[in-house]
Amino acid sequence: MTQLAHAKLNLFLHVVGVDKNGLHKLESLVVFTELHDLITIEEADGLALHRHGPFARNVDAKPQEDIIIQAASSLGKLVGITPKVKISVTKNIPVSAGLGGGSSDAAATLKSLCQYWGIKKNRADIKKLALTLGADVPACFHGKEAVMRGVGEIIIPATLPTSRIPTVLVKPKKPLSTRSVFERFEGPFSDEQDLKLRFKSLGSLLTYLSTKTNSLTASARNLCSDIEHALCSLQTSSGCTISRLSGSGPTCFGLFVSEKSANEAAAKIALAHPDWWVISTAILKQTSTAPNL
């Protein structure tokens, strides 16, 4: 049984306040890219995790502490089933990159096990479980473009243009932890809005995004100066319509007018910065086989 775990992008991310537990409340338009990890589940005598792929060695957690194992164990406890599966993950998404790779892996694990065990995945208690694993997991569990609010618990479906949106991802070498970026955040808070977003054309989406930002850019940039260079490299590339930091970084993304211009920009940036990770991909189309809630 195989499930794709797509990389997440925050087309914008606003910090709108802090809740009673000291957690930052967010407002963000979340989308997913064609870049993905791969989760495979097989029958086994117990619960085991095997990592493969280009970024497998970058995962610091021991297998038993990995978010994938946490997801499987927590779901097993919730539904009263002892997990006896081998979970294999092919890590194509960089670690600590602001692309939600771990969260997407956890969400894909929950979905796969629900299918494997014959459990309805739209149960309210499973959605609540997803939030306990991390703020991005509910959005990744939803698996489609959506507005994420609160501390990740509020998911409002959104609609993007059906046309393919070529995208270049650029990650400077230095990793960033989400905690360190939020600890460095000093404001200001953004005003909350009633976000029910439906975009029929790429032009309307880009116009809207031009009025938004990522509230974490300044704090992430203070921790990793290469973010400024990455954003500049994208924005000055021919065909780039908008460039922005994704999540807590350090990965930056650029949206492009064509696949050709995206491929050319990615090649040029990679040549100029051989120690950066650079890839040309695209935002996952709404009509694709993205995982559904």
Catalytically active residues are 8, 136
Q: Which helix (H) or strand (E) holds 266?
A: helix 259-272
- Read off the DSSP letter of residue 290: P
CA gap 283, 165 in Å, rounded: 6
**114 Ramachandran zone, left/alpha/beta (phi>0; psi -120 to 50):** alpha
Mutual orientation of helices 124-133 and 101-117 as an angle, nearest 10°? 150
Closest CA to 28 of 188, 212, 161, 175: 212
Return the amino acid letter for 201.
Answer: S
Which residues are paired to 243 by β-bridges?
Answer: 254
Nearest residue to 38 via CA among 103, 94, 105: 105
* Eight-state DSSP code of residue 49: E
Rounded distance between C-alpha atoms, residue 163 and residue 200, angstroms = 10
